[in-house]
Structure 1
Amino acid sequence: MSFDLSTLPPGRVREVVRAPAHVLATAGPEVDPTDPEVVQLCADLVATMRVSPGCVGLAAPQVGVSAQAFCVDVTGHPKTRAGHGLVVLVNARVVESSRNERAREGCMSVPDLTGDVKRATRVTVRGHLPGTGEETEVVTDAFEARALQHEIDHCAGLLFLDRVAGAHALHARQVYLDAPAP
């Protein structure tokens, strides 16, 4: 179900906003997936995700736009078991989910922390494709399921910080340097 990037205009890289920006804590409205501004926003999300090392997903609130739109691509990530390639959805929601499992998550909008978050291990997500507005469904599991839930949370005004069990479940993000320190 990989999204056909040729259906989007050229994307522009946008600045990623960080917590505690108000837009990250506000539920975004549903938007018209055929609106040219929404289509451009989706293209910008993909372009911004692509230039951000280690990034597997990005939602509209993370670039300062209160809207229900996001992209995910877990291709090549070491935790990926199965994936659908690039997924770009508008007004998406989880319609089915399985048992929960706790795992570590990070976020570009919270660059200094990671946290242990409980999420469904298998989900069915339904949303609309930008441009055509066609409704589509993604059935997935493991890391891709976690990434989709993380981005849907962003659209609802939630950060992974809102889902950790407490301070004991927060961790300083590991920083790996290419060269040894002097």
Structure 2
Amino acid sequence: MAILEIVKHPNGKLEEKCSDVKKFDKKLGALLDDMYETMIDADGVGIAAPQIGVNIRAAIVDFGEGQDPIEMINPELVLFEGAETDIEGCLSFPGIYGEVERPDHVKIRAQERDGSWYELEAEGYEARAIQHEIDHLNGILFTSKISTYITQEELDAIIAQGEEEEQA
């Protein structure tokens, strides 16, 4: 496994719609493993293939806490409802954060690395991360959805306040 270089904005590859994965082979498995290692090394929650310069519909999200990483190949949003605004960041936009409104409940249909199909429902933070990565596969950047930018200092203060509330 290898840690790959993350493509940073303003690289135009981030705004290209990705091609469907058609071959489910060892090469795809190795790419997914490398994407996962790259995401973990960068302290990310999700990564999409275009963020490592590969124009295919493949992404991974990992919520930790004993859950297995979710590999999404050729994902489709089949249901989305509700709305929630929260702060997002992106490995391809270091130091940039902002408030983004997204549906807070989603259902997706996607393929595993072996090509088999599955469906998954998610809410809240997990739904947000899944949508963020699917947006990457469609060439949509989270900065196009930001309603209010948040500075690093403001983010640090919000995180500190949340930790204080948890301890209280």
Range of TM-score over shorter length: 0.7 to 0.9
Contact 1:57 1:72 survives alignment (8 Å):
yes
Cα 1:127–1:172 shift into 2, 3 Å: same
Could you list the per-position Cα deviations for residues 54-98 of structure 1 after superposition, in whole angstroms to 9, with x for gaps in the alignment?
x1000001111111101001124xxxxxx9531011100110011
In 2, the alpha carbon distance for the partners of 1:57 and 1:85 equals 13
* Match of residue 86 from structure 1: 69
Contact 1:68 1:155 survives alignment (8 Å):
yes
Secondary structure class of the residue paired with 1:107: coil
Higher relative helix content = 2
1:13 aligns with 2:3: yes
In 1, the alpha carbon distance for the partners of 2:28 and 2:10 equals 24
Give the drift of 1:37. Answer: 2.7
Point out 4+ residue stretches in structure 1 off by more than 6 angstroms. none
Specify which of 99, 107, 130 is matched with residue 124 of structure 1.
107
* Match of residue 60 from structure 1: 49
Equivalence map 1:134-153=2 (5 Å): 134-153=116-135
* Match of residue 80 from structure 1: none
Contact 1:33 1:39 survives alignment (8 Å):
no
Could you list the per-position Cα deviations for residues 94-119 of structure 1 after superposition, in whole angstroms to 9, with x for gaps in the alignment?
10011111110000100121011111
Output the TM-score relative to the length of structure 2: 0.86
RMSD of aligned Cα (Å): 1.7
Specify which of 135, 141, 145 is matched with residue 159 of structure 1.
141
Percent identity (aligned): 32
How many residue pairs align between the two structures? 155
Give the drift of 1:33. Answer: 5.0
In 1, the alpha carbon distance for the partners of 2:120 and 2:67 equals 8
Q: Which segments of 5 or more consecutive residues in structure 1 lack a partner in the other structure?
A: 1-10, 77-82, 177-182
* Match of residue 39 from structure 1: 29
Specify which of 41, 63, 88 is matched with residue 74 of structure 1.
63
